[in-house]
A and B are shown apart, each in its own frame.
Chain A
Amino acid sequence: MGSQVLLDIVASMVVGGLLLIVALRMNDKAVENTYQSQAALTVQQNLTSLVENIEYDFRKIGYCRNPSLQPKTYMYILSGTDSSISFVTDLSNAGKLDTVQYFLGGHVPGDPNPDVKYLYRQVNSSPPVASNLGITEFHLRYLDGFGQQLSTPFVAPSQAQVIEITVRVEPTVIYNAAYDTVFAVWRQTRLISRNLKAR
């Protein structure tokens, strides 16, 4: 075997090795991207599902089909903190008042993402129902009629007329544990029983 042939073989092995490295890195990146894309899609779907449920309940705060049972003006919220709220509404349009409570629970046991927590929803005296949608933040801010923020927990819940809801959702599992790179946030200002307030 001549030296030229040997040189050709060595050179081709080097080039082949480089190409193999490129191909492997590309494959690795493609796998990471696939996982992240799927995680981002799941996060966005979870967020929209969660917000749909929250909006469904929150838009009816203070409503009652039976006017005689309707709570007095601005007495719709029973209690509230920056991560929990309890309010009255006629949830199933049955003409009777229900007490609905949302509150953030503890970390989800066994979940690789250490920030993910349960969000509980409780109606009347039924057991709280937990949802594990990758919620890492469920923050509530309460404002009075003049736009001033109320400190929590409330001293006078009747003063709260506007709620600002911030929800942040992260993936429960993700490639390389890069949880902060994929997330979705929803922040919305919601009025309490605007139909009664508007003139």
Chain B
Amino acid sequence: MGTGQTLLTVGAIMLLGAVILSTNRSLINNSTVLLNTNIGLEEVSLATSIMEEATGKAFDENTDTNTVTSTSQLTPPASLGQENGDTTDLNDFDDFNGLPGGNGRIEVDTLSTGIYYVKTKVYYVSGSNPDVISNIATWHKRLDIWVWNKDVPDTVKMHTVFSYWYF
């Protein structure tokens, strides 16, 4: 086999190798995207579960069994969270400010595609601008939820605003 033929053979094999690698990469990327969306579905289901649970609680510790008519009667912004460090009794919405767990997050391993981590934060917002934290108590509390899986780069972030009415 002459030098020209050898070069042509080497070139052909390199070309074939490049095509195989490219195809393989494409297949893996495709599978990764689908796995990520599958995990994303479970993350959304987990986040909405927490939102449902939180919005089913009383608006505030002081509205659990009583009615309040002034924002001064609500829990101060700096005190939002579980009362007296009792992490087992989540009875109002702002108890979800920092769910109990290591490193400020809880671990959920009951779903089918691995271990999920959840972090939550509750704060007051104004009715006219619910995207900005209010430093004073208002009739509106916002819950931010972050859910992520250590095997997936993206984090699902969802939020809801819970309000109090009195008549």
Contact = CB atoms under 8 A, between A and B. Distances in A.
Contacts of A186: 41-42, 45
Contacts of B37: 44
A19 B9 CA distance: 12
Given A194-B52, A199-B63, A30 B112 contact: no
Contacts of B16: 19, 22-23
Given A26-B20, A30-B23, A41-B34, A184 B58 contact: no
Interface of B: 1, 13, 16, 20, 23-24, 27, 30-31, 34, 37-38, 41-42, 45-46, 48-49, 52-53, 55-59, 63-64, 110-113, 162
A188 B48 contact: yes
Q: Shortest 10 CB-CB distances between A and B: which pairs?
A: A189-B49, A191-B56, A40-B34, A194-B56, A185-B112, A33-B27, A186-B45, A188-B45, A199-B58, A188-B49
B41 A47 contact: yes
A131 interface: no
Nearest to B60: A199
Contacts of B45: 51, 185-188
A91 interface: no
Interface in A170-199: 183-191, 194, 197-199
B23 A26 contact: yes
Nearest to A194: B56
B41 A188 contact: no
Given A184-B41, A187-B45, A8 B52 contact: no
Contacts of A44: 34, 37-38, 41
Given A29-B27, A37-B30, A44-B38, A191 B63 contact: no
Contact of A199 (B30, B34, B59): B59
Contacts of A189: 49, 52-53
Interface in A15-64: 19, 22-23, 26, 29-30, 33, 36-37, 40-41, 44, 47-48, 51
Contacts of A140: none
Contacts of B64: 199
17 contacts: A19-B16, A22-B16, A26-B20, A37-B30, A37-B34, A41-B34, A44-B34, A184-B38, A185-B45, A186-B41, A186-B42, A186-B45, A187-B49, A189-B49, A194-B52, A197-B56, A199-B64
Nearest to A47: B41
A19 B41 CA distance: 41
B89 to A, nearest CB: 11
Nearest to A27: B23
Contacts of A23: 16
Given A26-B20, A30-B27, A33-B27, A162 B42 contact: no
Contacts of A8: 1
B52 A188 contact: yes
A33 B49 CA distance: 33
Nearest to B24: A26
B48 A187 contact: no
A73 to B, nearest CB: 14
A129 B13 CA distance: 58
B41 A48 contact: yes
B37 to A, nearest CB: 6
